[in-house]
Amino acid sequence: MNCCASVSPPVLLRVGPSRRAVGWSQPPLVPTTPTTPGPFYPMIRPMDRDSDLTRLKGHRKRAQGQVIDLVGRVLNARGEPVTGARIEFWQSNALGRYDHPSDPSPAPLDPDFQGYADQPRDRRGQEVRETLSAGVRRIEMDRRRFLARSTLVVAAVSRELQLSARASQSRQWQPDGAGVLARIGVLTPDFDPVPESEMSAMAPKGVSIHGSRVFRDRSQTPAAFTDPRHIDAAAERFADLRPHAVVLAYSGSSYVLGADADAATQARLQERTRGIPVVLTSQAGTDALHALGAKRVALIHPPWFSQEVIDQGKAYFAARGFQVVRSTRVLPVRSFTEVGPAEVFEWVRENAPREADAVVIGGNGMRAIGAIRELEVALRRPVLTANQVSFWAALRIAKVRVDISNYGRIFDRS
């Protein structure tokens, strides 16, 4: 296992195996030379940044590989704890792969591997020293791949001086749209402005939305949207961007093709994205309903959905095991257009049956998230919309755990 450190200004990072496992030695106190952080410093850091790299919150499985413990201290040349120190660890997984778009390794990512830790700091130098000495840091090592590409542990130590802290407090950086927590890709029809804009409205700071538009011949059935001649090329464009997930923002194709076809569509598109997970809206809707414990649902669709597609939507959710107590559309019937939140609110409030455990507003092209909060208050039950559940599912894949309020109870279920 390799270990390297990036330190500025020069201090000593003493790191070694846990003294409980191996005898503790005292090397000479030689300051570590300042260097550029690397390799593959995380572009997007996980929300879970604690000292156990082998376990992610909410995951039952531990990361692959052999678990070892490291402990360490940050000292100056006199052997004194360094005040204001911050320690970051990032590491390749057991197969030698970093979660970084520039890593050329063909090895797969480990969905249960944290890969990054940010050690808490303390101005007195006590918290850093005690935490690293008494705590354990779990890091992966796979001996089978050690000769081919050893697992690399990188440590960066920085010292935040009062001068830089004062300078930082005097500057107010404005939001710049950087996806430091997650990037979400969206496959959407070329004429539809709604999916990206709704997801951007719900997105917390640090989550960015990126669209790829797909040709949609509106003279054909909704199934044509997933025609490989058009959508596959749009999906391939996400491969180099490497978002955490790609949303197929078009529920109508799942309705027409049926629930059994979702897996094949998803697998084909994930081949095109080179393994980036693809979220299907209708599938995300069923996952959200299960998360909420809903069994009886009311489906309400855009006013441009045909009766045939409405019936197919009912059949889709019935095939997924739900009792559909009503499946209808907003009236009056019209061609594709913007629908305001007031109209959505009034129509759904008046037409949602009381026996429904949850209301599902289908159709990614109907703007509906603006009415969710008021509808849940008025109906006293969960309200799901197409772009809301798609975004929820994408955040789960990206392991982003942040508070999202005013857009539905589903965001309380991570």
Q: Which of 139, 169, 199 finishes a domain?
A: 169
Which structural domain, as residue segments, surrounds residue 6?
2-169
Pair (218, 284) in one structural domain: yes
136 vs 141: CA distance, rounded Å: 15
Q: Would you say residue 24 has pLDDT above 50? A: no
Q: How many domains does the chain have?
A: 2
What CA dihedral angle connects 352, 355, 358 and 361, to 10 degrees?
Answer: -30
Whether 221 and 276 map to the same domain: the answer is yes
Same domain for 198 and 165: no
Residue holding tokens 């009034």? 346
First to last CA, the chain: 35
What value does the mean pLDDT take over residues 210-218?
92
Give per-residue pLDDT as tens, 90-133.
778 887 788 776 677 777 888 888 878 776 555 454 444 333 32
Tell me, what's the pLDDT at 251?
95
Lowest mean pLDDT among 73-77, 213-217, 292-296, 300-304: 73-77
Q: Does 272 share its domain with 372?
A: yes
Same domain, 147 and 239: no
CATH code, 240: 3.40.50.12500
Whether the pLDDT of residue 149 is over 90: the answer is no
pLDDT at 286 > cutoff 80:
yes
CA neighbor of 209 nearest in space, from 405, 408, 410, 394: 394
- Range with lowest mean pLDDT among 168-177, 215-224, 245-254: 168-177
* Residue 175 maps to a domain: no
| 211 and 238 assigned to the same domain | yes
Q: Which of 173-182, 386-395, 402-411 has the lowest mean pLDDT?
A: 173-182
Dihedral over Cα of 304, 310, 312, 313: its sign: positive
Q: What is the structure's pLDDT at 29?
A: 67
